[in-house]
Amino acid sequence: MTTAEETAPMTTSSDRGYVARARERIGNRVVGRERELDLVLAAVAAGRDILLEGPPGTSKSTLLRAIAEEWNIPLVMVEGNADLTPARLLGHHDPARVLKEGYQDENFVDGPLLRAMREGGFLYIEEFNRASDDALNALLTAMAEREVTVPRLGSVVAAPTFRVIGSMNPHDNVGTNRLSASVHDRFNRVSVTYQDAAAERAIVALRTSLTDGRVPTALGEALVADAVALTRATREHPDVRQGSSVRGAIDLALVAAQLCEMRQIDEPGTGRVTAEDDARRRYARSVLDAAGVALSGRIHLDEAAPTTPEAVLEEIWEQHFILDPAAAEPG
């Protein structure tokens, strides 16, 4: 029986430059995150399993997807929740075929764990701390032995690139299990936080194409910058327990762009929003409307806060467009 310690890393000593070159190519597909990419890549190339910790929308899936695609191995994604049983992780014999053919290896439908083991993929368990103890135990066994035994199927050995990668939001403590020390002891840990404003603008521009000439340049740039500024402000607001990730900024920019098109707004205007400046007011109004759509469900208030998500957004909007207009200048 092999153990994790003996698992072949993704590199061989005959090609020491390989990881560095792969690192370079993967870096081109991810905005920023150089350090996190180095750490995740080093851990998986060393044959280790990892827990990625960070709030939603902080590039965890993006990093893994980029690495898995570069290595041409599957990224098998599952959600950690009460439904994730050991039986679901492993798979099952197709009941209709069992009636006709009896238990055959051919009529076994691989679950995500078996698929990742056979194909040498990353088994990526989102919300790892919501998985049941039974599911965690099944995973830990597969990680330690690189082999599982399934009733009526026999033993399945993991291909060398099989890895288990969990992700979790460290601020998420409703309905989650505190992972035991023995679980933590089997994982390496990489923690991620929000990126800076410039990186978030680059991400929103990349994902929305709003600065690629689809809309007037000044409008596209303003939409991206304002969406990022308002979204980031939700993370700083005193009544907010968890603000929105860059996902909210992407949606805000896209919804606002549609509103501007419907309302025939071609330019964002500049400076403080005033009653006299009709163009600036109409643009800013559309951004506020879009913020309601994109962000109100994504911000989680402190339990005791005597306010609503909509009121918080209005406050943030006022600060950005009226009280502190310098912050509303693009760039």
Ligand X SMILES: Nc1ncnc2c1ncn2[C@@H]1O[C@H](COP(=O)(O)OP(=O)(O)O)[C@@H](O)[C@H]1O
Q: Which residues bind Mg ion (CB under 5 A)?
A: 61
Shortest distance (Å) from residue 50 CB to ligand X: 14
Shortest distance (Å) from residue 221 CB to Mg ion: 28
Shortest distance (Å) from residue 49 CB to ligand X: 17
User: Please, which residues have CB within 8 angstroms of residue 90's CB and are 6 or more apart in sequence?
Assistant: 111, 113, 114, 138, 148, 150
203 binds, among ligand X, Mg ion, none (CB under 5 to 8 A by kind): ligand X
Helices (H), the chain: 18-27, 34-45, 60-71, 86-90, 95-101, 112-119, 133-145, 181-184, 197-208, 217-236, 246-262, 278-295, 309-318
Q: State which of residues 88, 115, 207, 281 lies at the interface with ligand X (CB under 6 A).
A: 207
Question: Considering the rule CB under 6 A, would residue 62 count as an interface residue with ligand X?
Answer: yes
Helix (H, G, I), strand (E, B) or coil at 261: helix
Question: Considering the rule CB under 6 A, would residue 59 count as an interface residue with ligand X?
Answer: yes
Q: CB-wise, 3 or 193, nearer to ligand X?
A: 193
User: Please, which residues have CB within 8 angstroms of residue 234's CB and are 6 or more apart in sequence?
Assistant: 240, 243, 244, 248, 295, 298, 299, 312, 313, 316
Shortest distance (Å) from residue 60 CB to Mg ion: 5
Q: State which of residues 40, 43, 50, 58 lies at the interface with ligand X (CB under 6 A).
A: 58
Contact of 50 with 167, CB cutoff 8 Å:
no
Instruction: Fill in the amino acid letter for 60.
Output: K
Shortest distance (Å) from residue 79 CB to ligand X: 12
Which of these ranges, 54-62, 172-180, 215-223, 283-291, lies near ligand X under the rule CB under 6 A? 54-62
Q: CB-wise, 211 or 231, nearer to Mg ion?
A: 231
Question: Considering the rule CB under 6 A, would residue 242 count as an interface residue with ligand X?
Answer: no
Shortest distance (Å) from residue 126 CB to Mg ion: 6
As beta bridge partners, residue 188 has: 50
Question: Considering the rule CB under 6 A, would residue 50 count as an interface residue with ligand X?
Answer: no
Q: State which of residues 57, 74, 86, 112 lies at the interface with ligand X (CB under 6 A).
A: 57
Distance of CA 236 to the CA centre of its chain: 21
Shortest distance (Å) from residue 202 CB to ligand X: 8
Whole-angstrom Cα distance, residue 233 to residue 221? 18
User: Binders of ligand X: how many residues, by CB under 6 A?
Assistant: 16
As beta bridge partners, residue 167 has: 52
Which of these ranges, 50-58, 116-124, 182-190, 216-224, lies near ligand X under the rule CB under 6 A? 50-58
Shortest distance (Å) from residue 128 CB to Mg ion: 12
Question: Considering the rule CB under 6 A, would residue 232 count as an interface residue with ligand X?
Answer: no
DSSP string, 192-240: --PPPHHHHHHHHHHHH-IIIIIS-HHHHHHHHHHHHHHHHHHHH-TTE
Q: CB-wise, 114 or 230, nearer to ligand X?
A: 230
Instruction: Tell me the per-residue interface mask from 13 to 42 with ligand X, x by CB under 6 A, - otherwise.
Output: -----------------xxxx---------
User: Please, which residues have CB within 8 angstroms of residue 266's CB and are 6 or more apart in sequence?
Assistant: 216, 219, 260
Q: CB-wise, 67 or 312, nearer to Mg ion?
A: 67
As beta bridge partners, residue 108 has: 93
Q: CB-wise, 56 or 86, nearer to Mg ion?
A: 56
Whole-angstrom Cα distance, residue 298 to residue 316? 15
As given in the structure block, the two tokens for residue 133 are: 């103890």
Strands across the sheet containing 122-126: 75-79, 122-126, 163-168, 50-53, 188-191
Question: Considering the rule CB under 6 A, would residue 176 count as an interface residue with ligand X?
Answer: no
Contact residues: ligand X, CB under 6 A: 30-33, 56-62, 203, 206-207, 246-247
